[in-house]
Amino acid sequence: MYNKVLYIKRVFSLGKMTPSKLQVSLLLCSLALLFPCFVNGKYYGPDIDKVGKMCNATKEDVQVLKNYDIPSTEIGKCLMKCLTVKLGMVDALGKYSKDGTDVVFKEYWPEMPLNIRSAIIDKCYNEALKISNELGTCDYYYKIEICFNSELKRYGMF
């Protein structure tokens, strides 16, 4: 689960934050997803707390994220928007981007086989098309992150 540390490292670098000390080797792979950060397969709490603060999340929503889930409160949904945008998983108009998501997946899950990566990206892209009328809302990003979280769990990436 070393790869999820990079997710938070990338969010920090975009937000001009400095993460806690991590080994350079952890830089090989990032939700949540929605949104997630790990040490030995577990979230490293202080880093998740920093991301929550950067995105104006509540402590409760941060706790949900630490449990490998997607927060469903209005603030939690906006946390998902914040993370999705900061990671570059959407285009300049805020629409789900297959290319941007592929870059994120390659960076944070380099061990993920191409067929699985493509299947997850395509499935969630199709889900995003169904909710395009919600574009720009926190619900739009929340629903996309729910898809990613579900599919990543299904394929054993969490």
DSSP 10-65: HHHHHTT--PPP--GGGGG---------EETTEE-HHHHHHHHHHTT--HHHHHHH
Q: Which residue has the higher pLDDT, 35 or 44?
A: 44
The confidence score (pLDDT) of residue 44 equals 52
Tracing tokens 């805020």 back to the chain, one arrives at 94
Q: Of 34, 39, 21, nearest to 124 (Cα)? A: 34
Give the integer Cα–Cα distance in Å for 13 and 35. Answer: 15
23 exposure class (CB count in 10 Å sphere: 0-12, 13-18, 19+): exposed
Q: Is the pLDDT of residue 7 over 90?
A: no
Partnered with residue 42 across adjacent β-strands are 39
Q: Is the pLDDT of residue 120 over 90?
A: yes
Q: Which residue has the higher pLDDT, 100 or 24?
A: 100
What would the mean pLDDT of 150-155 be, rounded to a whole number? 93
User: Where along the chain do its domains lie?
Assistant: 4-154
The confidence score (pLDDT) of residue 109 equals 83
What would the mean pLDDT of 71-93 be, rounded to a whole number? 93
pTM: predicted TM-score of the whole model, two decimal places: 0.71
Whether the Cβ atoms of residue 62 and residue 85 lie closer than 8 Å to each other = no
Q: Is the pLDDT of residue 101 over 90?
A: yes
Residues 6+ apart with CB under 8 A from 36: 4, 7, 8, 30, 43, 48, 65, 68, 158
CATH label, 4-154, candidates 1.10.238.20, 1.20.1050.10, 3.40.50.300, 1.10.10.1590: 1.10.238.20
